[in-house]
């Protein structure tokens, strides 16, 4: 029996929503301190404080970050027509971290002159704005330098992104020397990729930005289908290639910038999730984009729960970026080897 595209999308969205709910429930239920969910929901402390004040906001934060990175990775893979593309590998996450770092350095300098103004600049919205601008600038840089003879070469763009990430890591390490200790720890938090305990206001700002960015990418999904055919084919079908690519660049960069501002440089979420979802729903981005975002949220939530629980007997917690790198690194190498095989056979 043939399943219609609408039915496939509905099934994928339902499965994604269930996966997100299960990931959040798992993250809320498990931790170093056992709690009673019924007592927490009844408002009895300390269960309520642990669940509603710590675990639930952190689980929601992890889901938002995963949603943004998976949606951005899906779009960037389509634009580059390369299965290895994703925000971390392309240097977009690094640019976002650098943009946020520059805002923190400016805030530290301003605080020496006008304390209150410096504290305001170091708040979540200005740092998020700096991260988004950094992501936009790095995207323009990577795709600009990835052109050879006027045509975008995916392999060149990937190489530029990898080199740019190394450059950003060095610059942020040097920036740490210019800011107060509390800001230096925040910079390190960005480099390793860790989900923390943010305020409800910070989560709300991030949620709005991510919702707008992911919504824009979903709205552009039909044009992404055409762009995967190549610039000349897309133009022949009536698509304004430059405008469509710029819109996708902006939305993917905004999603990545918001994710980095919330949780640092977390790699490979935007690489793994789109490939897994694509195997189920197919390559049509009208069907692929929304489920990929949901399963990205679920996967990021599970990775955060794993990071909190894996080393619990040792009394420590690795950053979730280490967990995603442990899983994504081998997956990246497998994809790299797989993409080489057709050229070797030729």
Residue-wise pLDDT tens digits, 158-179: 888 888 888 888 888 888 777 7
The kind and range of the H/E element at 148 are strand 147-148
DSSP SS3 for 152: strand
How many angstroms separate the Cα of 14 from the Cα of each of 7, 21, 57, 62, 222?
Answer: 10, 11, 23, 20, 21
| pLDDT reported for residue 264 | 78
DSSP SS3 for 34: coil
At 258, phi and psi to the nearest 5?
A: -65, -40
Give the tens place of pLDDT for each residue, 294-313. 999 998 888 877 777 777 76
**Under CATH, to which class is 5-339 assigned?**
mainly alpha
Give the tens place of pLDDT for each residue, 228-247. 888 788 888 888 888 888 89
| pLDDT reported for residue 340 | 54
What is the CA angle 77-187-168, rounded to 5? 50
- For the chain, the structural domain boundaries read 5-339
28, 21 contact by CB (below 8 A):
no
Of the pLDDT bands very low, low, confident and very high (cuts 50, 70, 90), residue 115 is low
- The residues pairing with 147 across neighbouring beta strands, listed in sequence order, are 152
What percent of the chain is helix, strand and coil (3-state, nearest 5)?
Answer: 80, 0, 20
Whether 253 has a pLDDT exceeding 50, the answer reads yes
Structure tokens at 121: 């600049």
State the pTM of this model: 0.85
């Amino acid at each position: 029996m043939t399943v219609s595209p609408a039915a496939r999308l509905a099934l994928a969205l339902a499965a994604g929503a269930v996966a997100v709910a299960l990931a959040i429930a798992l993250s809320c239920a498990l931790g170093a301190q056992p709690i009673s969910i019924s007592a927490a929901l009844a408002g009895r402390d300390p269960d309520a404080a642990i669940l509603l004040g710590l675990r639930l906001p952190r689980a929601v934060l992890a889901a938002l970050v995963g949603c943004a990175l998976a949606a951005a990775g899906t779009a960037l893979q389509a634009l580059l027509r390369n299965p290895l593309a994703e925000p971390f590998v392309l240097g977009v996450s690094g640019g976002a971290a650098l943009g946020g770092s520059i805002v923190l350095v400016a805030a530290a300098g301003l605080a020496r002159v006008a304390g209150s103004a410096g504290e305001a600049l170091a708040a979540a919205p200005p740092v998020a704005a700096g991260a988004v601008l950094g992501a936009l600038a790095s995207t323009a840089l990577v795709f600009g330098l990835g052109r050879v003879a006027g045509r975008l070469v995916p392999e060149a763009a990937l190489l530029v992104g990898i080199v740019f990430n190394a450059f950003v890591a060095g610059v942020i390490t040097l920036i740490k020397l210019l800011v107060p200790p509390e800001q230096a720890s925040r910079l390190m938090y960005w480099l390793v990729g860790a989900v923390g305990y943010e305020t409800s206001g910070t989560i709300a700002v991030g949620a709005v930005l991510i919702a707008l960015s992911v919504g824009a990418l979903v709205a552009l999904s039909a044009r992404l289908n055409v762009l995967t055919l190549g610039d000349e084919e897309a133009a022949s079908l009536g698509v304004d290639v430059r405008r469509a690519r710029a819109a996708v660049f902006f939305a993917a960069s905004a999603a990545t910038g918001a994710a980095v501002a919330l949780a640092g440089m977390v790699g490979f979420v935007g690489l793994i999730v789109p490939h897994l979802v694509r195997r189920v729903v197919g390559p049509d981005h009208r069907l692929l984009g929304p489920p990929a975002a949901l399963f990205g949220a679920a996967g990021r939530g599970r990775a955060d729960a794993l990071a909190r629980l894996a080393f619990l007997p040792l009394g420590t917690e690795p950053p979730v970026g280490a967990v995603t790198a442990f899983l994504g690194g081998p997956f990246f190498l497998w994809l790299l080897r797989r993409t080489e095989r057709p050229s070797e056979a030729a």
